[in-house]
Amino acid sequence: MRLAWSGWQRRNRDLAVEIETHFRMAIQDRIARGEDAETAARAVRREFGNRLQVEETTRAMWRSATFEPMIRHLRHALRDLRRSPGFSTAVVLTLAVGVGGLASIASLVHAVLLRPLPYPDSGRLFSVAITLPKIENRETQQSDAMFFALERLNRTAVDLGASLATEVNLGNEGTPERLLAARVSAGFFRVLMAVPAVGRTFSETEDSPPAPPVVVLGESLWRRRFGGARDVVGNTVLIDGQPHQVIGVMPSSMALPHDRVELWLPLALDPAHTLVASSTYDVIARLEPNVPPDLAQRDFQHALARMSELYPDAGFGMSTEYWMSVAGPRVVVRPLRETVVGDIGTVLWVLLGTAVFVLLAACANVGTLFLVRAESRQCEMAVRSALGASRRSLIAGLATEGALLGTLAAVVGVGLATACMWLLSGSGAAGIPRLGEVGVGGSVIGLVLVLTILVGLGCSILPPPRITPRGVASVVHSGRRVSPGDRQRTRELLVVAQVALAFALLAGSGLLARTVRHLRAVRPGFSVPNVLTLPVALPEARYSGVRDVAHQYRAIGERLAALPGVRTVGMVSKLPLLRGGVSNGTVLVEDRPDADITRSSAELVVIEGDYFQALAIPRLAGRWLGRTDDDRPSDQALVSLGFARREWGDSTGRAAIGRRIGRAPDAPWLTVVGVVGDIRATSLERPPEPTVYLPINSMGHLSPLDGSPAARRLAALFAPRAMSLVLEGSGDPEPVAEAARAAIRALDPAAAVFDFMPMSQVLSSSLARTSFTGALLGMAAALTLLLGVIGVYGVVAYSLRLRSREIGLRLALGAGPARTGLMLVRQAMIIMAAGMVSGLILTLLIGGALGGLLVGVTPNDPITLGVAALMLTTAIVASSLIPAWHAGRIDPRSVLGGE
């Protein structure tokens, strides 16, 4: 644009010079022929005629016939809009907010839901999970035996890969860094066709036991620790105290098994030592070209059915065949993208719907603005038409104005959206996956431009100038508007639409607010005030067995309990409401051998110290775990009330005391010594799950660790290297956290201590996604409500202007100000009623979409709808009161005398 303009200016200068030279040469020639300078100049000037006109005609040759009128319209439009800055600003801002919101959410939807995964031919990538319909309803991971069976016996996949998310300590003792890592099979990178930025990935040999100490770094870790040096391959890093050789670097686009993984280690599953029934590994597959997922599902299911051929023994004294018959494992094949995106989809589609609503409301508002403008410009249009402007050129002028405003709004809107995206990706909002590379893309910008220009065009031409020859005369003559009635009707309809949209959004955000309130009111079963959590991980290399680990944790507990400001110290393998740590597992119940396996799955949580006291989880029967000697494995356990009720059918918990449960057929039995209250450990939305609490040294028979993957896994299960400290105390948590950190470092300099988090924050972050959605919806609702109120005010104020004569007459004839005011309020009420009825219908129609997000409240909750209606009524009545008040104060003389 600027380029074209500067080109135009240069050509203008050139032309002036060219003609000037011509002029001078003509004079010189005449002088050469003997004329005096003055006569020559005069003669040439006469001959030349109007020089400006010569230039103008010449310039006309440059322009194309089609663009010239457009430029003229554009210039007119710019001038007109500059002359009414209020109107232009209102239109641009309203539209920009509407379209900016849509662009933000559309960018999110595109980045998170629609964009293909950043791997070649990613449509062929699927995740392969397992459900055990006869045991539990949720989806779980595969066992190593299942993975080997599928890998060997399938006929529809190019490759399969297994992964296990884990955490490691990286770096020197004293300052280890705790990182999220993953152990992956050699096929994992092959499935994704992920090409390392530097070096290579694991070979088949490296992926078989014993796994060599090699590591593939993630790009961010590589940049952070090695400054992005390309010769990093061959360097050694300390992982969990063991030197590992770097063999490659993965680009940052590699974000599996989850998007915060920073390094990959070989998984090295051992086909000779497998567990059939332990759900541990995430499995992904790249299907052969053109294999539909349901075909792959049948094929994998078939392969799984033949697992017993490879691994006849399921452990726990069961044959694989028997386990298959009681657990009934089913293969679930779904696009990898769905697995990566998770359940955020519902939220995003709801938000996209919201953004569309806001945009519609904004459009209605802009439409109203244009209608008003059309009214006030009737006289101008009439004059222009009388002066010879064709109807077509008048409409073209209006359209140019609309398109210009639309373009401006698009620019501002895209700017708003970019700012929103920037804020959003910075905040890591509400655990939305794939936010890293989110931005306002070209397709979204294109959409915004097309949308806003269409809206601008539509709104500007919607009220076409109604110019008839007679109309011109009457308008110009009287200087008054003609027949505003049907336009006022259009405006009213637009405002009704706005009110309806505002109602729907208010109701939606109200429903979400009630969901959040409901979840906050849910009693999680534990208490949060003054509780600080502090995850700790002990380095694997320094401790030879469960006994050592238990001893160290006990020492840490004692040291921390002595800190000032700390009253109670406990430890737990898995904090309530947070992911990670031990979870679901199989428990054997005495006198009820594996005959009834379906009932023996439970949450397994390892605890130490006064965990229950710190979180104020009540003891309902029996006693706490007794203090045992470090050197003797503990033979005690606690169970939750839910577990006691399920296993022994007793809702007081007393029947559970003295019963025995076991983790494995060859492990010693544990005696239930107490029953504690149920807590919502998975999420606030889910009911408490039956839980078994084990003391940290309950599995002493497993030590020393033999280093086999199976033993490693069991050790991880029973003597977790990573525990979360739970400190209950008084006062400011920060100094306590620092003191605790120092105390732990003093005991083991290599222990990794992570960021502390108050328990209250754990609780609120589990509500983050719903709160986030609710907040966005609330903002949208507020905005729409504001637009609706402005709309109603506009209609009422305008009808006051139209009816000022009538009102003046009424006042003159003795009607009181209250009655005339009421007349206008009544108009607002009619609009509002119509809007609210259509809003209610709209809400009930779309309520189902919101259903998935709601907890403890139904989409047609009468209280929420009632509150929304009340808020809307209040706002709208208030907005119509101002013009109504003015109506009562009209001076009849001034309005009537003008005629």
Partner 1 sequence: MGKDDLYRDRIELLQGTLDLLILQTLAWGPQHGYGITNHIRVNSRNALQVDTGSLYPALHRLERQRWIAAEWTVSDNHQRVRLYRLTAAGKRQLAAERSRWERLSDAIADVLAPPRATET
- Residues within the interface to partner 1 (CB under 8 A): 14-15, 17-19, 21-22, 24-26, 28-29, 35, 43, 47-50, 53-55, 57-58, 60-62
Neighbours of 426 (CB within 10 A): 9
Which secondary structure element, helix H or strand E, spans residue 181, and what is its range? Answer: strand 177-184
Residue 16 C-beta: closest distance to partner 1, Å: 11
Kindly tell me which of 52 and 562 has the beta carbon lying closer to partner 1: 52
Q: Residue 600 to residues 118, 280, 629, 696: CA-CA distances in angstroms?
A: 41, 18, 29, 21
Please state the closest distance from residue 72 (CB atom) to partner 1, in A. Answer: 20
Q: Which is nearer to partner 1, 24 or 138 (CB)?
A: 24
Least distance between partner 1 and beta carbon 775 (Å): 59
Least separation in angstroms between CB 2 and partner 1? 22
Q: Which of 43/476 has CB closer to partner 1? A: 43
Structure tokens of 393? 């050129």
Helix axes 469-478, 378-386, angle to 10 degrees: 120
Alpha-carbon distance 329 to 324, whole Å?
Answer: 6
Sequence-ordered list of residues with C-beta below 8 angstroms from that of 714, at least 6 positions apart, any chain: 699, 702
Would you state the structure tokens that stand for residue 749, as one six-digit string? 């300099």
CB closer to partner 1 out of 62 and 422: 62
Q: Give the Cα separation of 414 and 450 in Å (integer).
A: 12
For 817: left if phi > 0, alpha if psi spans -120 to 50, otherwise beta; the answer is: alpha
Quote the tokens at residue 243: 């030197």
Identify which of residues 55 and 650 has a Cβ nearer to partner 1 in the complex.
55
| Min separation Cβ 66 and partner 1, Å | 14
Q: Give the residue with the Cβ less far from partner 1, 22 or 592.
A: 22
Instruction: Tell me if 853 sits within 8 A of 800, measured CB to CB.
Output: no
Structure tokens at 495: 């405002």
Beta strands in 634-721 (DSSP E): 636-640, 660-662, 670-676, 691-695
Closest separation in Å from C-beta 21 to partner 1: 5
**CB–CB of 499/794 below 8 Å?**
no
What is the H or E stretch that residue 327 is in? helix 320-327
Shortest spacing between CB 31 and partner 1, in angstroms: 12
Indicate the residue among 46 and 83 with the shorter CB distance to partner 1.
46
Nearest to 515 by CA among 771, 318, 279, 294: 771
Nearer to partner 1, 23 or 87 (CB): 23
Residue 270: which of 707, 666, 721 has the closest Cα? 707
State the minimum distance, in angstroms, from the CB of residue 54 to partner 1.
5
Looking up tokens 């070649």 gives 120
Structural element, H or E, at residue 164: strand 157-170
- R_g over Cα of the chain: 38
Q: Report the alpha-carbon distance of residue 264 to residue 721 in Å, rounded.
A: 19
789 phi/psi in degrees, rounded to 5: -65, -45
Query: Least separation, in Å, of the C-beta of 73 and partner 1?
Result: 23
Q: Which is nearer to partner 1, 35 or 313 (CB)?
A: 35
- Dist. CA 175–CA 542, nearest whole Å: 15
Whole-number minimum distance, CB 39 to partner 1, in Å?
A: 8
Residue number, 12 or 376, with CB nearest to partner 1: 12
Helix, strand, coil percentages for the chain (3-state, nearest 5):
55, 15, 30
Q: What contacts 431, CB < 8 A, 6 or more positions away?
A: 344, 768, 769
Nearer to partner 1, 30 or 514 (CB): 30
Residue 47 or 338 with smaller CB distance to partner 1: 47
**Closest distance of CB 22 from partner 1, Å:** 5
In a 10 Å sphere around its CB, with 0-12 CB exposed, 13-18 middle and 19+ buried, how is residue 845 labelled?
Answer: exposed
Whichever of 48 and 422 has its CB closer to partner 1, that residue is: 48
Which CB sits closer to partner 1, 59 or 801? Answer: 59
CA distance 343 to 345: 5
Judged by CB, which is closer to partner 1: 47, or 738? Answer: 47
Contact 337, 122 (CB under 8 A): yes
Tell the smallest beta-carbon distance from residue 60 to partner 1 (Å).
7
Give me the sign of the Cα torsion angle 6, 11, 12, 13.
positive
Least distance CB 18 / partner 1 (angstroms): 5
Closer of 46 and 470 to partner 1 (Cβ)? 46
Name the minimum Å distance from CB 75 to partner 1. 22
Cross-strand bridge partners of residue 536: 723, 753
How many Å separate Cα 557 from the centre of its chain? 39
Residues in the chain: 899
Joined tokens for residue 163:
């992964």
Least Å from the CB of residue 53 to partner 1: 7
Element (H, E) at 379: helix 378-386
CB of 371 to partner 1, least distance (A): 44
Residue type, 191: V
CB-CB contact of 538 with 745 (8 Å): no
Q: At what angle do helices 391-427 and 67-83 cross, to 10 degrees?
A: 70
Nearer to partner 1, 19 or 779 (CB): 19
Query: E strands along 251-362, which residues?
Result: 263-266, 282-287, 313-315, 318-319, 330-335
Nearest to 600 by CA among 672, 691, 702: 691
CB of 425 to partner 1, least distance (A): 50
DSSP string across 587-628 = -EETTB-GGGGGG-EEEEEEEEESHHHHTTPPEEEE-PPPP-
Strand duo 139-140 + 125-131: pairing: antiparallel
Give whichever of 61 and 387 is closer to partner 1, judged by the CB atom.
61
CB of 48: closest distance to partner 1 in angstroms?
5
